[in-house]
Structure 1
Amino acid sequence: MPSGLPMLMAFTDRTVDDRPVQRNRLPAHAYFVGSAVFHYLGPAFAVLLFARVDVLGVAWLRIAAAGIVFALWRRPWRVWRRLDGGTRRLVAGWGAVLAVMNSAFYLAIDRIPLGTVAAVEFLPVVVLAALGARTPRNGAAVGLAVAGVWLLSDVRLVAEPWGFLFAAANAVLFALYIVLGHRVARNEAVTGIDGLALAMLVAAVVAAPIGFLDAAPAFVDPVALAAGIGVGITSSVIPYVCDQLAMARLPRATYALLVSLLPATATMIGIIVLAQLPTAVEMAGVVLVAGGVALHRERREAAVAA
């Protein structure tokens, strides 16, 4: 998946334990840096893999690899057996959205720079927060984010209309992913990791008709198969574990502020790994989106400030 997990965790209503983990001496910010880097380093490696495996095939390999790792780790079928019908439908819907969202994300990064896709992805998140807490501050945040995406769209719509449309579809699905993930996180019958593990397995099944045949060449290419598994681990498993460790030790407001750096992180990784040099206008758009993410506040944060 794209950078959904840090934002999903930052925008749930669950209380996060801000107390430091006594047995872990590594600074909390180090975990966030690890999460921020791997969330986009994995997709950057995926772009390099597109030369050997079709785009949708790489997307399926990522989902399936992460699903297998989480399944072996969490054994989520034990949780599935005790869920009621409504919760099962919720988790299945979350997994279906995850499958389509990842496919749209990979189709987008195949056509336009990684930093641009990441910036567009954050617009619905800021809008959701603004709808939850209608304050002047959130209004300004939406204004910045919209202006940034407008600059990016003005640059990319003419040159790569399909790439930008896939990025927009990914952004809308990302917002739906957050809403469904929020509901799963608030469901007492399933914990966050187990819910994600179940959703990943569902996503692998849902995405199979879309990407399995395209992934087939990797099964006879050990290098491509290993790379696909690596993309799944670096894109989904490592960042999620880092998110958990960071959220356990960082105050909620601090974590939400740090998340605003992710569009810039994606841009830098695009430059270093993929040689995707942004124009001055694109860089301004990414900065505006990052500013909007940093400025916005959730409903709970706005209430505390008031």
Structure 2
Amino acid sequence: MAVRDGPQAEAVGGAFPPPIVLVLSGIVSIQFGAALAATLFDDAGASGVSVLRLGFAAVLMLVVVRPRVRGVDPGALRLVGAFGLCLGAMNLTFYEALDRIPLGVAVTLEFVGPLGVAVLTSRRRLDLVWAAIAAVGIVLLADLGGGGTDALGVVLALVAGGFWGGYILLAQAAGRHFTGAQGVALAMVVAALVPLGPGIAQAGGDLLDAQLIVLGAGVALLSSVIPYTLETEALRRLPANVFGVLMSLEPALAALAGLIVLGQDLGVRELVAIGLVVAASAGVSLTQPPPPEPVTAQGA
């Protein structure tokens, strides 16, 4: 499952730290960053915390990347604008879902986005089997008719997953127009504008609280800067299918972060459902055919 794009690598190991360690560290960072964000919801609300995370991430990206707009094709700017809107909406709806349902459940439901992209862009019947397994897990998590799970939280997590799928497709398109992290940096600026209205309305002057600002910067660091840096480096040395399998562990590590930081103890039904989605996501990645070998010109 291609959750995030990157170049194919020739070998899994060979450098220190190993790329697998980098990916796992990035996953731990982003999930514990989400757990930290959830602890701030009582003070600033989900929308307010989204403002802090995306705002700080945008500032950091601008300072580090220094993207240029002059001379960029208007069509590319419109594309990066849509990319940013999708990124901002993904974060806002995910945090609103996280305010209502456990972290492990929210991340698992959100995985419908990248898993859906992987299946819909595939022509293999086997991927329909993985999709069916994931669907069973999602139905179990949604607890249809059971009343044990907040319905709005489930819907918001699935909507966030839809935006995640759109984010993947738009990131691929933007990568053809921008070099390095230029497109992501510009998109992050647009993304930071998405939660401003609801965030200011919800948090008001609390957004200027010094302690909240420091913690919000920590969320941005854990949820955006560290994972992006580690994954970018790992993708230079790691095959895409291995990367996809490792990323499939996100729901499980999200459940662990929710338990440790938030005290969210999941039941058997939720754990089985998370296991099904993890298995389906890993299965899609493991069974992907290798990319075609590049065609080289024959020498005379």
Q: Name the TM-score, length of structure 2 as normaliser.
A: 0.90
Cα distance change on mapping 1:299 and 1:84 into 2, 3 Å: farther
Number of equivalenced pairs: 291
Q: CA shift at 1:156, angstroms? A: 8.8
8 Å contact 2:12–2:239 — kept in the other structure? no
Correspondence 1:120 to 2:77 = no
1:299/1:286 Cα in 2 relative to 1: closer, same or farther (>3 Å)?
closer
Which has more helix, going by share of residues?
A: 1
Q: Tell me the amino acid that sits aligned with residue 266 of structure 1.
A: A
Q: Which amino acid aligns with 2:125?
A: P
2:92 corresponds to 1:96: no
**Are the equivalent residues in 2 in contact too, given 1:152–1:285 (CA < 8 A)?**
yes
Structure 2 counterpart of 1:176, from 166, 169, 176? 166
Query: How many Å apart are 1:127 and its aligned residue?
Result: 2.3
Name stretches of at least 5 consecutive residues in structure 2 with no aligned partner. Answer: 293-300
Distance in 1 (CA, whole Å) between partners of 2:146 and 2:75 is 40
The alpha-carbon deviation at position 138 of structure 1 amounts to 0.6
Change in 2 beyond 3 A, CA 1:66/1:303:
closer
**Deviations, residues 93-112 of structure 1 (Å, cap 9, x unaligned):** 11011111111000000000
Change (3 A) 1:201 1:60: same
CA distance in 2, matches of 1:292, 1:238: 27
Aligned match of 1:271: 259
Is the contact between residue 48 and residue 195 of structure 2 (CA under 8 Å) also seen in structure 1? no
1:64-143 equivalence runs, <5 A: 64-76=55-67, 78=68, 80-143=69-132
Distance 1:20 1:290, change over 3 A: closer
The residue type equivalent to 1:196 in the other structure is V
Question: What is the Cα deviation at residue 279 of structure 1?
Answer: 0.6
Output the amino acid matched with 2:252.
A
Equivalent residue letter for 1:39? I
TM-score calculated relative to the size of structure 1: 0.88
Task: Assess, with a 3 A threshold, how the Cα gap between structure 1 residues 42 and 95 changes in structure 2: closer, same or farther.
Answer: same
Structure exhibiting the larger radius of gyration computed from Cα positions: 2
Corresponding residue number in structure 2 for 1:208: 196
Please give the alpha-carbon distance, in whole angstroms, between the structure 1 residues aligned to 2:66 and 2:174.
17
Amino acid at match of 2:156: F
Task: Check 1:136–1:302 CA distance in 2 against 1; reply closer, same or farther (3 A cut).
Answer: farther
| 2:18 is equivalent to residue 27 of structure 1 | yes
Residue 18 of structure 1 pairs with residue 10 of structure 2: yes
Structure 1 unpaired stretches of 5+:
1-5
The 1:301–1:83 alpha-carbon spacing in structure 2 relative to 1, beyond 3 Å, is: farther
Q: Percent identical across equivalent pairs?
A: 32
What corresponds to 2:211 in structure 1? 223
> Partner letter of residue 266 of structure 2?
P
Distance 1:20 1:152 in 2: 34
**Residue 244 of structure 1 aligns with which residue?**
232
My pick for the range that moved more, 136-145 or 201-210, is 201-210
Give the drift of 1:155: 6.3
Cα offsets for 1:155-209 (capped at 9, x unmatched)? 697241111111111111111111111111233xx12411111111111123322
Please tell me whether the aligned partners of residues 137 and 295 of structure 1 are also in contact (alpha carbons under 8 angstroms).
no
Are residues 207 and 34 of structure 1, via their aligned partners in 2, closer, same or farther at CA, if it must alter by over 3 Å?
Answer: same
- Shift of residue 217 of structure 1? 3.0
Residues 1:301 and 1:81: Cα distance change in structure 2 (over 3 Å):
farther
CA distance in structure 2 between the partners assigned to 1:109 and 1:223 by the alignment:
22
Match of 1:301 among 279, 289, 297: 289
SS of corresponding position for 2:16: coil
Give the 4+ runs in structure 1 shifted more than 6 A: none
Question: Is the aligned partner of 1:40 residue 2:31?
Answer: yes
Contact 1:264 1:286 in 2 (8 A): yes
Q: Does 1:196 align with 2:184?
A: yes
Deviates more, 1:42-51 or 1:218-227: 218-227
Alignment correspondent of 2:296: none
Q: What are the superposed Cα offsets for residues 20-72 of structure 1, whole Å, 9 maximum, x if unpaired?
A: 797x5211111011111011111100111112212101011100000001110
Alpha-carbon separation, structure 2, partners of 1:156 and 1:71: 47
